[in-house]
Structure 1
Amino acid sequence: MRKEPPMTTPEKLAAWMAAASRLLLMLDYDGTLVPIAPTPDLARPNPELLATLQKLTLSPGRVVAVISGRKLAELQKLLPLTGLYLAGSHGAEIQETGGKTYRLFENRKLEENISSLERVARECVANSRGFLVENKGISLALHYRLADPDLAREVLDSFIERVVPIMGKNRLEILPGKKVLEIRPRGVSKGRAVQYLCGKYGGALPVYIGDDRTDEDAFMALKRGYGILVSPQSRASAATIRLSSPREVYTLLLLLAKEGYF
């Protein structure tokens, strides 16, 4: 059931989490850990955020995971930290805290299908400015944040019309996001990664923090704990509570990393 989650403060959230002997903290990357940037390559963590996350991952009783639509290889470069779980491609790729990596989803034809969709996307975009086509291997993203809105609508309509037959035959789905249209396999979601981690750490208090449509799957996968929507405006969500910005998320992380807080 979706409703408009009430606003809270980092201080209140930190106090609630402090009551748990073990904490499983799961975070989205873009729009949650770091602000949304004009292009994905510009959304990078600053040294202070990295240091705070590292302190949390090395703290007793705390498990920290970043679950993102980005490829796992990207997350590994952006967040080169010890003891951090990484889940890329909407949870399809997992890196354990010790560095072991594997996939929760396998499909031999998938990369071939995604490459076909990439060709269609590039044909639709042609030489138009403001678009970015990103082949993630497991999914395809068509970014249009910097494109003219009217042109973006025209390109997206053309793209959707052309890819629907490919999607229908290959169990793929369209997922709209913040100025991005993504195609991924059915059954792949951040919710699957949340279920995996919650099963692994059943005695911990689970908390998931995210800002976008793809994070709704993660919120719905939580059977207890807190789903925290990051949004300056109130909107319907499966989350239980809301923070206004990535800055407030960072404040929460600082409080949780504070010596003696738990």
Structure 2
Amino acid sequence: MTGLDERIRSVASARRLLVALDFDGTLSPLVADPMSARATPAATRVVERLSRLDGVTVALVSGRSLRDLRIIAEHGDDSGVWLVGSHGSERWTPSGGLASAAADPGSAAIRARAETIAAAFEGAWIEDKTFGFALHTRTSTAEAEAGAHDAVDALMRDAAPQWRRREGKHVLEFSWRHEGKDTAVAELRAELGADAVVFAGDDVTDEDALRSLGDGDLGIRVGEGDTAAHTRVDNIGGLVDVLDRIAEVRASWSTPE
């Protein structure tokens, strides 16, 4: 724990600190109905605490579409928390409002074909996303999940091989935009002039960002799985403990002029 404490003190004392956090599985428990996801009360509290500290910017960096992320994060126009949706293709900032790339006119037809395929597998369904779609199989049997993944993969190899494929926990996502969380974090770092970055995530898509972090940053993996993170916590409560420690150290440190 000594190594983690040292890294916490280092990032917390950065002149400008970016705390970038995945949402699902990181701040909110994973649930069968994606739109019912909400951050735990403790996670909500520590995010708000960090966002009020001088020199700290908190950003939620998610694969969710921005419209859905704002709902599940219970995010209002008066919030100081930045939002990055669709793996970096959309974002909301306190000063600049909404920013999003244009939609692909051909994506609706591909999504409709995926919906037809998913309907044939029990528990499988398609989530409409701004830049593509996601196949959800959390309530499917292992056999149905494998069949749905194979069938949708076959569709995409034929219909849109150029789309980016991402696989997570009981979800298979395709997007015609190719941004990743690594580029999203890099852009936030550059725009904010952040001297250090804390990033936390729980899934395969978060590893892009975790691999991109430097020696002066702190990467946190929530839960199991291979990771490039500097440290691992067992669950959301463990992450909250680390973030609270960062906030405590930061609050005791005066930002230089």
TM-score if structure 2 supplies the norm length?
0.86
Indicate whether 1:100 and 2:92 are aligned: no
2:143 — aligned with what? 150
Whole-Å Cα distance in 1 between the matches of residues 172 and 134 of structure 2?
Answer: 6
Within a 5 Å distance, the mapping from 1:93-172 to structure 2 comes to 93-98=90-95, 100-103=97-100, 106=101, 108=103, 110=104, 112-126=105-119, 128-168=121-161, 171-172=162-163
**Aligned residue among 220, 225, 231 for 1:228:** 220
Residue 72 of structure 1 contacts residue 87 of structure 1 at CA under 8 Å; is this kept in 2? yes
- Contact kept, 8 Å, 1:18 with 1:261, in 2: the verdict is no
Query: In 2, Cα distance between the equivalents of 1:123 and 1:23?
Result: 46
Percent identical pairs in the alignment equals 30
Structure 1 residue matching 2:152: 3-state secondary structure = helix
TM-score for the superposition, normalised by structure 1: 0.84
CA-CA distance at 1:232 after TM superposition: 3.4
Question: Which runs of 5 or more structure 2 residues have no equivalent in the other structure?
Answer: none
- What is the deviation of 1:8? 8.3
Q: Is the contact between residue 121 and residue 148 of structure 2 (CA under 8 Å) also seen in structure 1?
A: no
Check conservation: 1:8, 1:241, Cα contact below 8 A: no
Alpha-carbon shift at residue 226 of structure 1 (Å): 2.1
Q: Deviations over 1:105-153 (max 9, x none)?
A: x355x2x333223212221122543122101121210000100111121
Give the equivalent residue in structure 2 for 1:249. 239
Q: 2:27 aligns with which of 12, 33, 36?
A: 33
Give the corresponding residue for 1:44: 38
1:91 aligns with 2:84: no
User: What do you get for the CA RMSD once the two structures are aligned?
Assistant: 2.4
| CA gap 1:226/1:48 in 2 versus in 1, 3 angstroms | closer
Q: 1:228 to 1:46 in 2, by over 3 A?
A: closer
Higher relative contact order (CA 8 A, sep 6+): 1
What secondary structure is seen at the aligned counterpart in 2 of 1:207?
strand
Match of 2:53 among 36, 52, 59: 59
Asked if the contact 1:28–1:66 (Cα under 8 Å) also holds between the matched residues in 2, the reply is yes
**Equivalent residue letter for 1:44:** R
Deviations 1:140-199, CA, capped at 9 Å, x for gaps: 10000100111121122112112212222xx20211111000001353111121111111
Question: Residue type of the partner of 2:244?
Answer: L
1:60-111 alpha-carbon deviations (Å, 9 max, x no partner): 02111110011111222224252111001111101112351113xx355x2x
Counterpart-to-counterpart distance in 1, 2:188 and 2:147: 40
**Per the alignment, do residues 11 and 38 of structure 1 end up closer, same or farther by CA in structure 2, a change over 3 Å counting?**
farther
Say if 2:9 is the partner of 1:15: yes
Alignment of structure 1 residues 171-186 onto 2, 5 Å: 171-185=162-176
The residue identity in structure 2 corresponding to 1:245 is: N
> What's the secondary structure of 1:38's corresponding residue?
coil
Unaligned runs of 5+ in 1: 1-6
Cα shift at 1:10? 7.3
Judged with a 3 Å threshold, the aligned counterparts in structure 2 of structure 1 residues 155 and 232 are, in CA distance, closer, same or farther, namely closer
2:123–2:139 CA contact under 8 A, matched in 1: yes
Instruction: Give the aligned partner of residue 80 of structure 1.
Output: 75
How far apart in 2 are the matches of 1:223 and 1:12? 15
Equivalence for 1:195: 186
Count, aligned residues: 248
